[in-house]
């Protein structure tokens, strides 16, 4: 578990307030709420809200609101589609090619998949991130799970891992997982070696998760668009189901896939968190 020292608690408290602000912005985006309205909703001063937003994402709430509009989403979808088409035309469609200095995906062997992880030693920890608490779990070959939590509930995290990996050995090791957490949420340029995601899934799920690595930070794609990239244009629903089963949040960027209409669609770890991820990435792109 992470330390309960004040700086750590401040990070979690900041995210919770930002998430509440995002929820308010999403619910009232048509009214274009100003800083005073957001502050009143959060029972904070205008100055405090402005400072929190700037501290967390580096932009104002008003600017962040622009990243949550349908118009912005649709224009970004088109830009990303062009980029992906160019990438495919150039023959750079191998797994994770656009981001191979950041993330590589390695699939479990069929035996490991079927056995529930028999023979695997999984180390895990719970850490605070810019998007709330997250469970991070590692095998000797890479990150097998990254899931966001509503609170630092180690019991729920262990139960989840036991369900996912019933035959694996589990060991809490927050020191080693903290190093991974720090690398995940720092700028890409600081990574001396790529992060490896070591995941289990069906062949189709693995294909879908690999295709997600092609979507650049700040980019957006649609379920139908990802189905076309996979050469299965009528399988948008199946693609959506596979995206929803992504075991490694953020690194395998399922949050970058939305509906054709510009609506966020669903997200395994909550729509406010999805909006936070997309706005945070857009502000840095």
CA distance 94 to 85: 13
Q: Annotated catalytic sites, by residue?
A: 254
Distances (CA, A) of 269 to 45, 148, 246: 29, 6, 11
Cα atoms in the 13 Å half-sphere on the side-chain side of 190? 7
* H-assigned helices in the chain: 6-27, 35-42, 46-57, 61-66, 70-89, 110-115, 154-164, 174-184, 203-212, 223-229, 236-244, 271-284
CB neighbours of 132 closer than 8 A, spacing ≥ 6? 12, 15, 16, 19, 148, 149, 150, 273
CB neighbours of 163 closer than 8 A, spacing ≥ 6? none
């Amino acid at each position: 578990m992470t330390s309960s020292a004040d700086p750590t608690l401040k990070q979690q408290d900041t995210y919770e307030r930002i998430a509440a602000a995002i929820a308010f912005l999403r619910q009232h985006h048509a009214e274009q709420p100003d800083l005073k309205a957001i502050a009143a909703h959060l029972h904070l001063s205008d100055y405090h809200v402005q400072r929190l937003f700037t501290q967390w994402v580096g932009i104002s709430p008003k600017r962040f609101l622009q990243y949550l509009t349908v118009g912005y989403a649709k224009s970004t979808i088109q830009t990303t589609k062009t980029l992906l088409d160019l990438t495919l035309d150039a023959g750079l469609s191998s797994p994770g090619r656009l981001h191979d200095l950041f993330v590589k995906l390695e699939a479990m062997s069929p035996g490991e998949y079927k056995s529930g992880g028999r023979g695997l030693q999984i180390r895990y920890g719970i850490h605070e991130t810019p998007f709330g608490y997250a469970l991070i779990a590692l095998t000797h070959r890479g990150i097998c799970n990254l899931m966001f939590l509503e609170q630092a509930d180690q019991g729920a995290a262990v139960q989840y891992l036991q369900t996912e990996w019933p035959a694996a050995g589990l060991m809490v090791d927050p020191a080693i997982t903290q190093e991974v957490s720090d690398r995940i949420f720092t700028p890409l340029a600081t990574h001396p070696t790529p992060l490896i995601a070591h995941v289990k899934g069906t062949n189709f799920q693995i294909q879908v998760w690999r295709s997600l690595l092609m979507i650049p930070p700040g980019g957006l794609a649609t379920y139908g668009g990802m189905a076309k990239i996979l050469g299965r244009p009528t399988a948008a629903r199946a693609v959506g189901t596979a995206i929803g089963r992504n075991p490694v949040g953020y690194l395998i960027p399922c949050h970058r896939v939305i509906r054709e209409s510009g609506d966020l669609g669903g997200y395994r770890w909550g729509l406010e968190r999805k909006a936070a991820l997309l706005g945070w990435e857009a502000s840095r792109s």
